């Protein structure tokens, strides 16, 4: 923390790249129930009121969804793992991901038909990707996996990835949160030595942690996890989303 504050003072800028679910907002049973706790929002507002603070949200959620739920004005949002980026003068939709939409629609129908018989499992259509949630049907995980892989495997334009109690069907494109983070930093152009912190909690955030390792010594990932995994590319960690709000408070107080 002192090193981050000192680097902020020297460079005049602090960059925060924030995942949403499990980071800004606690994990909940259904995605539409997620929200940023009041304490965290107040702390982030106070931090953003200080000079030189740049914030972006990088999420697996669809762009419109995460923008509505985060509701932080004046920042850039990267939705669908960065396949769509908008805000702060930016607008980018990955063309190959957009072209895969018809194939995703077919897969969504096939998976939805099977999951109709599995109470607690459902498909979230995020436009450029699909999330298949089974947190409330953990005992039937094998059936959910079979349904997803049965519909998506063998389609060369799509791939299946995993998160916390969720499977995702994505376009098979060379793009992830790591590439999205590097794109955002190229646009932000923070001064040399400015602290760049990416906060995230899931496997997909590891791509961003690894990307920051190539950006510079002042950039690092902060993993939100308890217990810690056996391996991570992050250099620091917090235990839960509540501590994310405490981090914002401490950074603001230190200035």
Tokens of 85: 């980026």
Catalytic residue among 6, 19, 205, 240: 19
d(CA 26, CA 29) in angstroms, rounded, equals 10
d(CA 189, CA 11) in angstroms, rounded, equals 12
Looking only at Cα atoms, what is the longest distance across the chain? 58
The number of residues making up the chain comes to: 255
Q: Are 224 and 74 in contact (CB under 8 A)?
A: no
Q: Are 13 and 218 in contact (CB under 8 A)?
A: no
Is 153 labeled as catalytic in the residue annotation?
no
Q: What angle do CA 211, 214, 215 make, to 5 degrees?
A: 90
Distances (CA, A) of 231 to 202, 209, 221, 227, 239: 12, 12, 13, 12, 15
H helices within the chain, ranges in order? Answer: 2-11, 38-48, 63-70, 95-99, 101-115, 141-152, 177-188, 205-213, 241-254
Nearest to 192 by CA among 210, 212, 219, 163: 219
> Sheet containing 130-133: which strands, arranged edge to edge?
122-125, 130-133, 166-171, 158-163
Q: Are 83 and 129 in contact (CB under 8 A)?
A: yes
Residues with catalytic function = 19
């Amino acid at each position: 923390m002192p090193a981050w504050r000192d680097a902020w003072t020297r460079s005049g800028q602090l960059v925060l790249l924030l995942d949403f679910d499990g980071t800004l907002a606690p994990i909940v049973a259904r995605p539409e129930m997620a929200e940023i706790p009041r304490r965290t929002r107040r702390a982030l507002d106070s931090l953003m009121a200080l000079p030189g603070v740049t914030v972006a949200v990088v999420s697996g959620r669809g762009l419109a969804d995460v923008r509505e739920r985060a509701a932080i004005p004046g920042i850039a949002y990267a939705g669908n793992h960065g396949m769509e980026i908008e805000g702060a003068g930016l607008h980018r939709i990955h063309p190959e991901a957009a072209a895969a939409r018809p194939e995703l629609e077919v897969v969504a129908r096939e998976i939805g038909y099977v999951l109709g018989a599995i109470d607690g499992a459902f498909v979230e259509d995020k436009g450029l990707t699909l999330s298949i949630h089974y947190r409330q049907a953990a005992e039937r995980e094998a059936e959910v996996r079979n349904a997803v892989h049965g519909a998506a495997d063998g389609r060369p334009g799509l791939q299946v990835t995993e998160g916390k109690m969720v499977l995702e069907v994505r376009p098979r494109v060379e793009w992830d949160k790591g590439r999205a983070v590097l794109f955002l930093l190229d646009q932000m152009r923070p001064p040399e030595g400015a602290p760049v912190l990416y906060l995230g909690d899931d496997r997909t955030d590891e791509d961003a942690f690894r990307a920051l390792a190539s950006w510079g010594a002042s950039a690092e990932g902060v993993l939100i996890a308890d217990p810690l995994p056996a391996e991570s590319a992050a250099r620091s960690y917090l235990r839960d989303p509540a501590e994310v709000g405490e981090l914002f408070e401490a950074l603001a107080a230190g200035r």
